[in-house]
Amino acid sequence: MAYSDKVIDHYEHPRNVGALDKDDGTVGTGLVGAPACGDVMKLQIKVSAEGIIEDAKFKTFGCGSAIASSSLVTEWVKGKTLDEAASIKNTDIAQELALPPVKIHCSVLAEDAIKAAIADYKKKSGKDEAAE
């Protein structure tokens, strides 16, 4: 199976690989997927007092498409508000990376990772609406 040029670019030159301090109150961490399924994504966001995502980091265990999907979303969420980031759809990711049908689950996982990171941030910062 041939990968798209964008997938190869993200795989070979992943953006924003790394970790933020998960105990920092301004950092939200999303850990999604499972080793048994062959994909685990960890996405972290650092949110400013104004509610803007000012930094994002990822680590991913998975195939090239999974790595590319998570690398791409770290680029996309930076500079966005939480609501804007939460509105990123897996179909946008799949389209940008030209993922084949068997790799759509990688983009779904990346969308889940954003949502999980936002939820974690809201929970930690007391902005979790469900908890109010």
Partner 1 sequence: MTALGSKPCKPCPTLTRPAGAPVYLDYQATTPCDPRVVEAMLPWFTEKFGNPHSRNHRYGWEAEEAVEQAREQIAAIIGADPKEIIFTSGATESNNLALKGVAHFYKEKKNHIVTVVTEHKCVLDTCRYLEQEGFSVTYLPVKTDGLIDMAELEAAITDQTAIVSVMAVNNEIGVIQPIAEIGALCHKKGAFFHTDCAQAVGKIPLDVNAMNIDLMSISAHKLYGPKGIGALYVRRRPRVRLVPLITGGGQERGMRSGTLATPLCVGFGEACAIAKAEMGAEAERLKDLRNRLLGGLRQRLPEIYVNGDLDNRIPGNLNISFAFVEGEGLMMGVKDLAVSSGSACTSASLEPSYVLRALGVDVEMAHTSLRFGLGRFTTSDDIDFAIDHIVEAVEHLRAMSPLWDMHLEGVDIKSIEWAEH
7 contact partners, CB below 8 Å, separation of at least 6: 64, 65, 68, 97, 98, 99
Among the candidate windows 12-20, 46-54, 78-86, 89-97, which touches partner 1 by CB under 8 A?
12-20
The DSSP secondary structure of 104-119, one letter per residue, reads: HHHHHHHHHHHHHHHH
Binders of partner 1 among residues 87 to 116 (CB under 8 A) are 102, 105, 108-109
Is residue 10 near partner 1 by the rule CB under 8 A?
no
Structure tokens at 75: 């680029």
2 contact partners, CB below 8 Å, separation of at least 6: none
Active site residues: 37, 106
29/119 Cα distance (integer angstroms): 8
Is residue 30 near partner 1 by the rule CB under 8 A?
no
Give the one residue of 4, 6, 17, 86 binding partner 1; rule: CB under 8 A: 17
Could you give the maximum distance between any two Cα atoms of the chain, in Å? 48
Beta bridge partners of 60: 41
Among the candidate windows 28-36, 47-55, 82-90, 119-127, which touches partner 1 by CB under 8 A?
28-36
Q: Give the x/- contact pattern for partner 1 in 47-86, rule: CB under 8 A.
A: -----------xxxxxxx-xx-------------------
Residue numbers at the binding site for partner 1 (CB under 8 A)? 1, 3, 8, 11, 14, 17, 19, 31-42, 58-64, 66-67, 102, 105, 108-109
